[in-house]
Amino acid sequence: MQQSIFKGLIFATMVLSMTFLAISCDDGTASSGSNVDMVSATIEQCPHGGVVLTVDGVDEIICNGAPGENATPPLVTATPFEGAMGDCSDGGVMIVACTDDGTGTCAEGTETTTYVCNGEAGTNGTDANSPIITTTPFDGVEGDCTEGGLRIEACTDDGFGVCVAGSETTTYVCNGEAGTNGTDALSPIITTTPFTGVEGDCTEGGLRVVICADDGAGVCVTGSETTTYVCNGETGTDGTDALTPIITSTSFAGVEGDCTEGGLRIVICADDGTGVCVAGSESITHMCNYGPVPVKFLALGAIVYDDTWNFDGNTIEWRVVHRAYLPETVTLMSSGIVSLRGFHDGGWYNKWEACTLRTWLNDDVTGVYESFSDEFKSIVELTPVDWALDNPQSTPSSGTVDNYVFIPSRTELGGTFLSSDGPVLDWFSDPTTATERRAGPDRYWTRTGTPTSYSGILYDMSLFYVQPTTGLFSSGAWSSDLFGILPVVNINEDTLVVRQADGRYLISHP
């Protein structure tokens, strides 16, 4: 504006000079020259500044014009539609952006239009995902903008927060050119909020998009808000449950992978629902002999032991029988009987929660847990253990009690399922091998109680036990009879073990 004022002053001076020359020429007298003075005008003379020209005693006031108005924010409208429009075949949102001509109307030729399309409804699919919309302010030249603006990028979400390839669209909302003495144009405020249920035209939830003009303090200008909705598709038919991955581990000798002296080949793949790997889903890693391996990678049936403690002078060998009895644990069961004991020494009683065997395993100074070293205790997890009686007339007939050490139930060993009797352990989940895997040289107790008839009356005084050699279940013995004990523990799945030359795995403590 100062440059315009200066040009005006020069022009005024030239006009006055020519006027005086004309007067001199008209009266036919010779001019001896005019006296011209220029001073700044007072604020009373010119509210926006100016000058006072004095020519031969005559004042001429020349004032500056008033400042121009501030630049206006760009106009952005978002309009939902149905059917085909633009590149969309199933409806969506049309976003139109333009430069405000100062009256709330688009300046001619400044409109840009882009479309955010609804996805096509899938058959038996998961819920449609909301579009991903990102807005990024920028300076300088980009797209059709020369003074910076806002880059709006929209795409279809693939369900994992990543754009579906080829679905990206980009449009620009340009800042207006800077006005004289005006403030910089502000980017619009765009907020997106997911919602569920019914809102707007949506019946299955979706995304609420609110666009407004920024007042310069990050707050919407009153009355400038526009709201539109991007709806989720209708809910598809429920899919099948996710399947547990298949993990197999195979010992090998010689050179393979990075191993030079044999080791363990671990193959992990997606289960196709029939216990077979989905083609192309396999990943293979190698754990070399004499190197530490997390116990969670060992095959079911692998033998693990700890040389930092012993029970009655003997090292207990543990068999890997289950994964995730508790989150992030591996279940170990003694591969052989550690002692011959009664289930309860104080009379007829077959409830795990208060039997003397549970106390001996966990609390007695001569029991199993108290023989553990501090290092081994640090990896054993306290487990809520379910117990049950196969006698609904008994009160109570089931419950849960916390233990570090327990014995298996009939259900856990792959026997007849009983509610509140614990999960079927992976090692015994195949009926064709469960009986053989249960069998041993001696009979041993389970923690599943059963009534026994005495003089025509049912008493809670017996439990199921596993017969020697056959691996079948029997009942009828007194709870005080001396049968074998197979302890069970759950340990942290990241516990490191080292494969030994005999194929067993030694627990490696820090």
pTM score > 0.75 for this model?
no
**Mean pLDDT along residues 394-400:** 84
Residue 89: pLDDT band (50, 70, 90) is confident
Q: Is the confidence at residue 415, as pLDDT, over 60?
A: yes
Note the pLDDT of residue 375: 96
Identify the DSSP state of 20: H
Residue 114: pLDDT band (50, 70, 90) is confident
Between 32 and 72, the higher pLDDT residue: 72
Note the pLDDT of residue 447: 96
Note the pLDDT of residue 110: 85
Note the pLDDT of residue 126: 60
Both structure tokens of 362 = 């966990």
Q: What are phi and psi of 3, to 5 degrees?
A: -60, -40
Note the pLDDT of residue 381: 97
- Smallest Cα–Cα separation from 189: which of 208, 175, 210, 174? 210
Which of 74-78, 82-86, 162-166, 332-336 is predicted with the least confidence, judged by mean pLDDT? 74-78
Note the pLDDT of residue 213: 78
- 474-497 in b/e form (b: 16+ CB < 10 A) is ebebebbbebbbbbbbbbbbebbb
Q: Is the confidence at residue 27, as pLDDT, over 70?
A: no
pLDDT tens per residue across span 288-297: 666 788 999 9
Edge-to-edge strand order for the sheet containing 132-138?
132-138, 149-155, 169-174
Q: Parallel, antiparallel, or unpaired for β 263-269 and 457-466?
A: unpaired
Question: Which are the contacts of 25, defined by CB distance < 8 A and separation ≥ 6?
Answer: none
**Mean pLDDT along residues 248-256:** 77
Strand partners, 334: 318
Which of 6-15, 57-66, 132-141, 401-410 is predicted with the least confidence, judged by mean pLDDT? 6-15
**Mean pLDDT along residues 425-438:** 96
pLDDT tens per residue across span 453-497: 777 777 888 999 999 999 999 998 889 999 999 999 999 999 999
How many Cα atoms are found within 13 Å in the side-chain-facing hemisphere of 121?
12
Using DSSP, state whether 242 is helix, strand or coil. Answer: coil
Note the pLDDT of residue 453: 76
Q: Is the confidence at residue 70, as pLDDT, over 70?
A: no
Residue 406: pLDDT band (50, 70, 90) is very high
Q: Is the confidence at residue 374, as pLDDT, over 50?
A: yes
Note the pLDDT of residue 326: 96
Cα of 428 vs its chain's centroid, Å: 34
Distance between CA atoms of residues 376 and 353, nearest Å: 24
Both structure tokens of 401 = 């009690």
Between 420 and 209, the higher pLDDT residue: 420
The 3 state secondary structure assigned to 194-205 is EECCCECCECCC
- CA distances to 237, 352, 367, 369, 452 from 356, rounded to whole Å, are 52, 9, 11, 14, 20
The 3 state secondary structure assigned to 311-346 is ECCECCCEEEEEECCCCCEEEEEECCCCEEECCCCC
CA dihedral 468, 486, 403, 294 (to 10 degrees): -130
Note the pLDDT of residue 177: 78
Strand partners, 332: 320, 489
Distance between CA atoms of residues 252 and 261, nearest Å: 9
Note the pLDDT of residue 411: 97
Residue pair 20/36 in contact (Cβ under 8 Å)? The answer is no
Residue 261: pLDDT band (50, 70, 90) is low
- CA distances to 333, 364, 468 from 408, rounded to whole Å, are 8, 20, 16
Cis amide prior to 431 (ω within 30 degrees): no
Taken as a whole, the chain contains a residue count of: 510
Note the pLDDT of residue 188: 82
Output the average pLDDT for the chain: 83
The dihedral built from the CA positions of residue 150, 156, 162 and 166, taken in this order, carries a sign that is negative
* H or E segment and range at residue 384: strand 383-388
Note the pLDDT of residue 238: 67
**Mean pLDDT along residues 261-285:** 83
Note the pLDDT of residue 1: 43
Edge-to-edge strand order for the sheet containing 50-55?
36-40, 50-55, 58-63
Note the pLDDT of residue 212: 83
Distance between CA atoms of residues 383 and 360, nearest Å: 16
Residue pair 82/193 in contact (Cβ under 8 Å)? The answer is no
